[in-house]
Structure 1
Amino acid sequence: MTEQEMCKAICKAASDKKARDIVTMDMQGLMISPDYFVICSANTATQVRAIADNIEEELAKDGVAFSHKEGYREGDWVLLDFGDVVVHVFRQEMREYYALEQLWGDAKLTAYEE
């Protein structure tokens, strides 16, 4: 699975659980690793965890496993590290607070459209 295919699969899995404002950030040339961030929002900690679970399950069906997961218990910001693609699932307030899109303002943003 290519990085672009992985990003699309992640976005679809997030969308299936009603994630909002799903974007892919091209981090190539801005960091050594990863090449892409996928960022999305949810209303509640329960929804954050449901989105993260669905991403994990859908990618596992294609034989793709994450190497690291953080923030799951709290449910405010779950990070799933798939190597060249890192997923950030935020509760909306946390996304606004950390503002990764602004922090990495030089990254090319692509909004997910079904």
Structure 2
Amino acid sequence: MDSKELMKLAAQACDDKRAEDIVVLDMAEVSLIADYFLICEGSNERQVQAIAREVKEKAEEAGLSVTRIEGFEQARWILVDLNGVICHIFHKDERNYYNLERLWGDAPTVAVESV
């Protein structure tokens, strides 16, 4: 599975758990860290954890291993590293503070509707 297909799988998993404001940044020309950053938010800690759990489960069902999950216990900003796609799942209150979309503003945005 290539990074684009993996990004689509992760975006669908986020949408399945009703993540809000899903944004995908194409990082291929901007960073060596990942091909895509997927950024979304949940309205409370339980929803943020549910979104992260769904991303992990969908990746594993597709035969992929999750490289790392950080921040699950606090559920304010969970990072799910899918090795090529990094999902940033924020609590609604934290997303505006960190504002990754502005920080990585030179990365093109991928339309989630096309995913």
When normalised by structure 2's length, the TM-score is 0.95
What's the offset of the Cα at 1:92?
1.0
The separation in 1 between residues aligned to 2:12 and 2:82, in whole angstroms, is 16
Gaps (5+ residues) in structure 2?
none
- Equivalence for 1:108: 108
Identity of aligned residues (%): 39
- 1:40-90 C-alpha deviation (Å, 9 max, x unpaired): 111001100000001100111101111111000000000011111111000
CA-based RMSD: 1.1
1:21/1:111 contact within 8 Å kept: no
- Equivalence for 2:95: 95
- Equivalence for 2:76: 76
Gaps (5+ residues) in structure 1?
none
The separation in 1 between residues aligned to 2:111 and 2:23, in whole angstroms, is 4
The separation in 1 between residues aligned to 2:77 and 2:83, in whole angstroms, is 18
- Equivalence for 1:7: 7
Specify the code of the residue in structure 2 equivalent to 1:61: E
The separation in 2 between residues aligned to 1:22 and 1:42, in whole angstroms, is 10
The separation in 2 between residues aligned to 1:98 and 1:105, in whole angstroms, is 13
Runs of 4+ in 1 over 3 A off after TM superposition: none
- 1:13-57 C-alpha deviation (Å, 9 max, x unpaired): 000000011111011121112111011111001100000001100
When normalised by structure 1's length, the TM-score is 0.95
Specify the code of the residue in structure 1 equivalent to 2:16: D
Secondary structure in 1 matching 2:75: coil
Secondary structure in 2 matching 1:55: helix
